Structure 1
Amino acid sequence: MKCPVCNHENGNASFCERCGSNLTPSSPTSDAVQGQQSAAAEPEYTRWSSTQATPSHVPGSSNTPSAPRPVQQGSDSSSTAGHSSSGDNTANQWNNIVQNEKVQQAKEVSKQYLSYFLSVLTRPYQTMKTVGEQHSINGWITMALIAILTSTYFLITFSRMDVDGLFIAGFIRPLLFTAISLIVSIALIYAILKIEKITFRPKTLVAQFGTLLVPAVASLVLANLFIVISYSIAIFFLVVSYVVTFVSLNTVLFQYPLNRTKAVIDSMYSVLIANVVLFYMLYRLLGATIIGLIGLMFSPYGRL
């Protein structure tokens, strides 16, 4: 008789000679027991193979080598994109922070200069005698405002008269002319004090000159406001701002003890030369523009 478990030919034996299985017919209960016995007697490698093969047929099994590979690549690319986007966001946030800090610094400087401007406007000469090197930035701001307000005055005037070459003739040229005139004024004061052999600090010199120019800024603001109402009043305030520049030049010079030593030239003549040079520059740089504007007001066919 052939064993149903291991297929061994046993003859008429009741039990298999190889695996020991019962070869006699039995009831359903005995068949179940026989099945358990045969499972227990199954070779080890057969049971291990069956248990390893089964998960490979289960859908979504983690042992499938091709399924997780694309997912891993996608996650890597998305992770890289996430890192790059987060880096860009960080850079943008940092730029915003830097810009905000600059804006805050500009606001602080504006507030400080406004308080400085109002305090100087009431007593410019008294304030000029107390300023130091730390106020040199205020002096440069004052001179920059004078150049910008002067250019704005001419720009508004040119725009109301419908003159060609508005930006260059009405803004750039007066801006450069005024800036050069103010820088030359400081250079003249510096040169005279050097000739007089007077000890001074250049930054303090800029602070003093800029302090005395604060009334010129106020005069130019009024000139820009009145240009819409009356040309004559606007020109009056413009001329006042130039007069303040001359007065500031002389006031800074005469606060120092001039002519203490035997200089090459007398202090009166050195100061006179400084005023003549400044007047000549203003006449050559700004006089032609002012005369041209006056000609436009009285001649309907005039053009600069």
Structure 2
Amino acid sequence: MKCPVCNHENGDAQYCERCGSNLKGTHASAEPAESVTHTGPPDASSEYTRWSSTQEPASHRTASRSSSISPMPSPAHDLDDASDNAAQDRSAHSSSSNQWSNLVQNEKVQQAKEGSKQYLSYFISVLARPYQTMKTVGEQHALYGWVTMALFAILTSTYFLITFGRLGADGLFIGGFLRPLLFAAIILISATALIYGVLKLERITFRPKIMMAQFGALLAPAVVTLLLANLMIVISYSFAISLLVLSYIIVFVAMNTVLFHHPLNRIPAALDSMYSVLIANAVLFYVTYRLLYAVIAGLFGPLFSPYGRL
């Protein structure tokens, strides 16, 4: 037997001949240790226990580290917050702009209401005393003169529109509304141009805005006459036509009243004031006749032509 201490070969002796070691006890204890160490495979449970013992602390450390460290905000989250803030800013800006636009609209509506009330009171005062009011108007009333002229043109066009609509004429909107509106405006502009030309020919110093205010003030009775003509179409055509003619006679009267309100013939001229005023009336009459005849012929021509209606 070989001594495990000094490697001396002793045979079957119980003790080593060289070092005196107990060979039986060493052999008995060495064999099981060697068998345990080298003969069988490692226990799976012990291997799992060692692996789990080595892995669990690492995972525990990772979990504790992740719990101790606060999460960092992601870029996508930042973009969402920025888009939300931008949307809130846009909504606030749009709401403020809507409030501002509503405020501006309300102010415009209030201004329109105040202007309409002022014009209505002015129109009533002019209608009660046209000539007296004409002598006291100023440049600030020039806008009222333009409004009165616009009302005269609109009521003329509505008169023809209603009349020819009841007769069943063709091309009602263009021939019955737009053309009379345009022609009535041309007649009024021609009247103001003739007033301006005669006053310039007479070498009279005047202000064009005051002249417009005077002429517009004298057209207030013509506007009321046209309004009555529009209402009387349903009752009587003949009476409505008489009112229409009377309204255009008032236009001639208004033009002559403005002309004679100024001191004519102060300076000797080549043409007497009587003839200059007469020429102005003749020109206005010719323009009125041609335009009204064009409106009436344009609407009634197809009715009386042999191929107008079958």
Please give the range of the TM-score, normalised by the shorter of the 2 chains. 0.7 to 0.9
Measured on the aligned residues, the alpha-carbon RMSD in Å equals 2.6
Q: Does 1:250 align with 2:256?
A: yes
Matches within 5 A, 1:184-263: 184-263=190-269
C-alpha distance in structure 1 between counterparts of 2:176 and 2:170, whole Å: 9
Aligned partner of 1:54 in structure 2 is 64
The CA deviation string for residues 140-184 of structure 1, in whole angstroms up to 9 with x for no partner, is: 000000011111111111221222111110111011111111111
Aligned partner of 2:178 in structure 1 is 172
TM-score (norm 2): 0.74
Aligned partner of 1:77 in structure 2 is 83
Aligned partner of 1:148 in structure 2 is 154
Structure 2 unmatched runs, 5+:
1-59
Q: Does 1:64 align with 2:71?
A: yes
The CA deviation string for residues 191-217 of structure 1, in whole angstroms up to 9 with x for no partner, is: 111111111110000000000000000
The CA deviation string for residues 25-57 of structure 1, in whole angstroms up to 9 with x for no partner, is: xxxxxxxxxxxxxxxxxxxxxxxxx99973622
Greater share of residues in helix? 2
C-alpha distance in structure 2 between counterparts of 1:220 and 1:172, whole Å: 17
The CA deviation string for residues 118-143 of structure 1, in whole angstroms up to 9 with x for no partner, is: 11111101111111111111100000
> Structure 1 residues 103-112 or 80-89, which shifts more?
80-89
Count residues in correspondence.
Answer: 250
Residues 83/177 of structure 1: CA separation in 2 closer, same or farther (3 Å cut): same
Matches within 5 A, 1:16-95: 54=64, 56-57=66-67, 63-65=70-72, 67-95=73-101
Residues 51/131 of structure 1: CA separation in 2 closer, same or farther (3 Å cut): farther
Paired amino acid for 1:228:
V
Residues 163/190 of structure 1: CA separation in 2 closer, same or farther (3 Å cut): same
Paired amino acid for 1:121:
L
The CA deviation string for residues 194-242 of structure 1, in whole angstroms up to 9 with x for no partner, is: 1111111100000000000000000011011111221111111111110
Q: Helix, strand or coil for the counterpart of 2:136?
A: coil
Aligned partner of 2:44 in structure 1 is none
**Counterpart among 97, 121, 138 of residue 127 in structure 2:** 121
Paired amino acid for 1:88:
S
2:159/2:230 contact within 8 Å kept: yes
Residues 124/293 of structure 1: CA separation in 2 closer, same or farther (3 Å cut): farther
C-alpha distance in structure 2 between counterparts of 1:301 and 1:122, whole Å: 50
TM-score (norm 1): 0.76
TM-superposed CA distance for 1:91, in Å, is 2.2
TM-superposed CA distance for 1:291, in Å, is 5.7
Aligned partner of 1:98 in structure 2 is 104
> Structure 1 residues 165-174 or 281-290, which shifts more?
281-290
2:144/2:213 contact within 8 Å kept: yes
TM-superposed CA distance for 1:87, in Å, is 1.9
TM-superposed CA distance for 1:94, in Å, is 2.1
Percent identity between matched residues is: 64
Paired amino acid for 1:197:
R
Aligned partner of 2:165 in structure 1 is 159
C-alpha distance in structure 1 between counterparts of 2:74 and 2:298, whole Å: 83
Paired amino acid for 2:127:
L
